[in-house]
Structure 1
Amino acid sequence: MLKTSGRLGLSLLCLLILLLTACGTRYQNETVIISGDEMSEPANQELLSPVQVQKIYRLPDENTDNGYWLGWTSSDSLIGSFKNTGFPERYKLKELAYPFEESKNIIQSEGDHSRIALSPDGDQIADVHTHQTTITTTLMSTKDGKKTEVDTFDPKGQSYLQTMSWSENSQMIGYLVQDPVQYEKDTLRVYDTKTKLSQSYSLQGFGPGDTLLDAQVSNDGRSALIKLFETRQSRSITLVLGKLADGHFEAKYKHQMADKQMTWISEDQFAFLGRDDTLYEYDQRNGELSVILERVFTFEFSPDKKFIAYTLQDEDAVYVGKIQGRNVLYNGPVYRGILPSNMKWSSDNTRLFIQGPRTFTNSNSIPHDNSTKEPAFIIEFK
């Protein structure tokens, strides 16, 4: 009888231990803590990250007062526009190819090199010229320098032009034509390189004293973003989204912004930097405004919009992250020591060009030679 009782007690003790173990195991499985702090991610995250630096190239110096790098013509080659010394009415195009050690002159042309625009695919450069009573748009091949006049029109009055821009798919060219006296004659001119057709859109909703600064046309040519200095109310830089139809620009959405870039990320979505240093995304299908990043100083999306390079306020680091939805993942610094004013992704996302002034932690290390050469680098990713 005692043996039976002891055996029963031992069985109950084992059962109790098993129950306690099961409870502890179940609690551990159900409690998951996900940290939002990127610094507390597992140590092996770097091994899983799609953003890993493989090599950094220091580029030869170019005087930034004389020109700038326009962008990539291939994954291995940059092209830039620089003044032709002694000939102010001319400019020269330079190529900097892998291994990025020395640039060479490839094409010479006439005109204002500050107005030209390289297509996102790197194949063509758009230029626009004013000739007495007409305005002419020209395309130039980056391969052989061959020029083709694609659009000519009469603005019917005094006019001046703003910087040209391409749509993200390299199909649409847009630029503002402004009348300094009669603001109601201001237009947005759009040329479609695929259909070979052009259209002028009158700009409604803008008043006297508003200064139009820039325009970006969507891939389908049905919408446009216009940046302006608005004087009547806020006296600030304002972004205006509008529909392009029946020869008119019809404003649909406004938001105050920093005097920096705005960019389409799809036919219905665009990103811009607000006055509060927040990088926003706006979706015109549902009117939803979303936050992508905060404390942003500059940004640049990769051509396929899967990656973003950016800098933060009061920091001298260039960050790169992967875009997933409206989130930026695996973001981390890829270079420190300069404040890039020019960032360009290669077409295959494998290289990032950055250029800008150096940052100095010691005033004694600041050069005093008044040099206008800003260091430039190409960051190559695995």
Structure 2
Amino acid sequence: MSRRIAVLCAALVLLGVLLSGCMRQLRSETIIIPDTEEDSAVDQASGPFKVKTYYRLPAQAAENLYHISWLGRDTVIGLFGEARQELSIERLVSPYETPEKLRDVGGNSLFAGLSPDGRYVCTIALADRVYTITLISTSDQQAKITDTLTSKQLLVSKNLTWSDNGRYVSYMLSDNGQGSIGVIDTETGTAKRYSLPEWKRSDVIYSIKLSDDGQRVLIVKGGGSRLSFSVGAWSGSGFVSQYEHELGGDSSAIWVGGSSQADWINKDQIAYIGPDGSLYAYDLRNAAVTVLLGRVGSFQLSPDRKYIAYWKGKGSTTKDMRIYAGKLQGNNILNETAVYQGVVPFQMAWNPDNSGLLIEGQKVYAREAGPAQPTQSAPSTVPSDLVPLHDNQSFIIEFE
């Protein structure tokens, strides 16, 4: 009997050794970015979003960054400058250490923004009471004026908005008090105008985003501190709304080039964050509403709309504020994985093959630490005992 017990014990010991070896293979990794707080690292479970490495943009570039976009799998392109009138277009290739200046944008720019695919920069300039909208190619740096607004017209949108495929860029204007939407087609280099009958002077238009086919329109607007959206389609030379709903958060959650509060899933569906903080999907074909996620501050879909990055603030510590990645499949989010924490993102962007995630945001610290006043407002979902500092974090997470 003692021999059988000895054999059994030996077998159990061997099994334990084998299991411990398996556990070592599945052990999670952490993201550690130098010169940041320890709470930036996130313990990860195994899954499709296993972090391979990270890249931080150079400090000087990050400090002067105005807007940034992917240009390819391992190349980003950005607008850099200490002032909006002194912007330049610069390119960075992995490992993103040395920016290469392509050209200056030009003076008198009121706004400049990159297309999601990095192929174009669109600028709005004001001179002699005339607005000029110019399209600049980042491949050959050639510029073309695509639209002008006379003194009888007034640009009233907060910024330019690109379609996800980078073909269309749109903006809001008032023509003798009547609301109009301007749309530039980058393939033809031409501009069109559409009427917006529902527009009121009290409305603040934050974005006008066309679907990739250019036929449907998603408008995010505000009045006071409230946000809402209207989604519809062109009818002749005007916009007709099909569905409207209030959005979660307030106007402080909307930034230039920032993460989404509402966006296209495809030409028939949109995703939006409701007043309760849940992420919903709305289908224009049958008016069906589906809950995708709960308690979301902002989100960003990948170019092929198969993946999603989103920010959550569950509690009142920096460790509770995390950026997640997941797979969008039907009306479900699968393989949710925390990839970073302690940063409030105001831009998230996937590279073309979904192997990298660009994040630009601000570090958050406990209020009792006596932080300086922030230069940008954080989304209203940031807990009251935390505050974002002027400590911009610009980095790229590369997945295995």
TM-score by length of 1: 0.77
State the shift of 1:373 in Å: 4.1
Q: Is the 8 A contact 1:61 1:373 kept in 2?
A: no
In structure 2, C-alpha distance between the alignment counterparts of 1:106 and 1:68, rounded to whole Å: 16
Letter of the aligned partner of 1:220 in structure 2? D
Letter of the aligned partner of 1:277 in structure 2? G
Q: Is the 8 A contact 1:210 1:230 kept in 2?
A: yes
Q: Is the 8 A contact 1:81 1:113 kept in 2?
A: no
Letter of the aligned partner of 2:141 in structure 1? G
1:50 aligns with 2:56: no
State the shift of 1:333 in Å: 0.7
Q: Structure 1 unaligned runs (5+)?
A: 1-42
State the shift of 1:275 in Å: 1.8
Counterpart of 2:77 in structure 1 is 79
State the shift of 1:134 in Å: 5.2
1:229 aligns with 2:234: no
In structure 1, C-alpha distance between the alignment counterparts of 2:72 and 2:282, rounded to whole Å: 30
Q: Is the 8 A contact 2:110 2:124 kept in 1?
A: no
Counterpart of 1:299 in structure 2 is 299
Counterpart of 2:269 in structure 1 is 269
Identity %: 30
Distance 1:79 1:194, change over 3 A: closer
In structure 2, C-alpha distance between the alignment counterparts of 1:206 and 1:154, rounded to whole Å: 19
Counterpart of 2:287 in structure 1 is 287
Counterpart of 1:144 in structure 2 is 140
TM-score by length of 2: 0.74
1:91 aligns with 2:82: no
Q: Structure 2 unaligned runs (5+)?
A: 1-25, 29-43, 255-259, 376-388
State the shift of 1:312 in Å: 0.8
Counterpart of 1:157 in structure 2 is 152
What are the equivalent positions in structure 2 for 1:168-187 lying under 5 Å apart?
Answer: 168-178=164-174, 183=177, 185-187=178-180
Higher mean alpha-carbon deviation, 330-339 vs 120-129, is at 120-129
In structure 1, C-alpha distance between the alignment counterparts of 2:374 and 2:196, rounded to whole Å: 47
State the shift of 1:366 in Å: 5.4
State the shift of 1:61 in Å: 1.9
Determine which structure has more spread, i.e. the larger CA radius of gyration. 1
In structure 2, C-alpha distance between the alignment counterparts of 1:207 and 1:164, rounded to whole Å: 19
State the shift of 1:256 in Å: 0.2
Letter of the aligned partner of 1:374 in structure 2? N
In structure 1, C-alpha distance between the alignment counterparts of 2:127 and 2:109, rounded to whole Å: 17
Letter of the aligned partner of 1:276 in structure 2? D
Letter of the aligned partner of 1:263 in structure 2? D
Counterpart of 2:14 in structure 1 is none
In structure 1, C-alpha distance between the alignment counterparts of 2:357 and 2:124, rounded to whole Å: 29
State the shift of 1:330 in Å: 0.8
Counterpart of 2:12 in structure 1 is none
Q: How many residues align?
A: 331
In structure 2, C-alpha distance between the alignment counterparts of 1:114 and 1:186, rounded to whole Å: 20
In structure 1, C-alpha distance between the alignment counterparts of 2:108 and 2:163, rounded to whole Å: 21
SS at match of 1:311: strand
In structure 2, C-alpha distance between the alignment counterparts of 1:276 and 1:298, rounded to whole Å: 13
1:250 aligns with 2:240: yes
In structure 1, C-alpha distance between the alignment counterparts of 2:74 and 2:327, rounded to whole Å: 22
State the shift of 1:369 in Å: 12
1:330 aligns with 2:344: no
1:205 aligns with 2:198: yes
Q: Deviations over 1:173-195 (max 9, x none)?
A: 2111135xx54x12001122334
Q: Deviations over 1:158-182 (max 9, x none)?
A: 4124211111122212111135xx5
Alpha-carbon RMSD across the aligned residues, in angstroms, is 3.0
Distance 1:293 1:114, change over 3 A: farther
What are the equivalent positions in structure 2 for 1:108-127 lying under 5 Å apart?
Answer: 108-111=104-107, 115-127=111-123
Higher mean alpha-carbon deviation, 162-171 vs 203-212, is at 203-212
Counterpart of 1:13 in structure 2 is none
Q: Is the 8 A contact 1:64 1:372 kept in 2?
A: no
State the shift of 1:246 in Å: 1.4
In structure 1, C-alpha distance between the alignment counterparts of 2:303 and 2:213, rounded to whole Å: 17
Letter of the aligned partner of 2:203 in structure 1? D
SS at match of 1:101: coil
Letter of the aligned partner of 1:282 in structure 2? Y
Q: Is the 8 A contact 1:222 1:245 kept in 2?
A: no
Q: Deviations over 1:103-159 (max 9, x none)?
A: 34332121466622222222111223345575443221213322122x235557141
SS at match of 2:98: coil
Distance 1:102 1:145, change over 3 A: same
